[in-house]
Chains A and B, each alone.
Chain A
Amino acid sequence: GQNIDQPTEMTATEGAIVQINCTYQTSGFNGLFWYQQHAGEAPTFLSYNVLDGLEEKGRFSSFLSRSKGYSYLLLKELQMKDSASYLCAVTPGANNLFFGTGTRLTVIP
């Protein structure tokens, strides 16, 4: 079976840094993606990791440890518009994405 665990909700202050963790147990692994989803909207791509280590992209960074089945998304210099759900997704098999339930982040002033 497949399982992805993420915290359900997090709150952080504008301008701060927040780390959203994701652990996965899947039958296979061909990459891990982070998506942002505002309420009622489509997921939008943030980052992709297939090898261990840190990928940095502006205010967003994502880390992967395949041996631990662990990833995190780091958001720096938080802005109010970063309030959204953050979805961790794994490609376990051929080409489909298996999503976690997402972490709802609320940024407060």
Chain B
Amino acid sequence: EPEVTQTPSHQVTQMGQEVILRCVPISNHLYFYWYRQILGQKVEFLVSFYNNEISEKSEIFDDQFSVERPDGSNFTLKIRSTKLEDSAMYFCASSLRWRETQYFGPGTRLLVL
């Protein structure tokens, strides 16, 4: 069964450093998403992406964040200058069509020191 994959599974970084989180969505899916979950809290929407552009973003997704689909398979989330409060599990998700079920990857646990 096709699944969303993410790398790395864990990342530790120093405050102020840039990080790039990588995702490979399910191959025939057209819509891509990033969510985050701070430890012990709820899953929060960051951004959705379709046809090589952002279709929707939350208040969390400020100028420090960017997304890109650099090739036909990868989808990345970049945090330019990490802060302590960026420590969270970051989930990538994809869906085949508009407003259809979103399938989540296993997540990248980011720890900012």
Contact = CB atoms under 8 A, between A and B. Distances in A.
Interface of A: 30-31, 33, 35, 37, 41-45, 48, 87, 89, 91, 93-102
A30 B106 CA distance: 26
Interface in B30-53: 31, 33, 35, 41-45, 48, 50
Given A42-B106, A43-B104, A44-B104, A95 B44 contact: no
Interface of B is mostly: strand
A43 B104 CA distance: 6
B31 A95 contact: yes
Contacts of A91: 99
Contact of B58 (A41, A42, A96): A96
A60 to B, nearest CB: 14
A43 B87 CA distance: 19
Contacts, number: 57
A35 B42 CA distance: 12
Contacts of B55: 94-95
B107 interface: yes
A98 B45 contact: yes
Output the residue of A41, A93, A95, A100 with the most chain B CB within 10 A.
A95
Contact of A42 (B31, B33, B99, B107): B107
Contacts of B98: 95
A78 B41 CA distance: 26
Contacts of A48: 101
A95 B91 contact: no
B104 A42 contact: yes
Given A42-B91, A93-B56, A95-B56, A100 B101 contact: no
Nearest to B43: A99
B75 interface: no
Given A94-B55, A95-B55, A96-B56, A31 B99 contact: yes
B32 to A, nearest CB: 10
B105 interface: yes
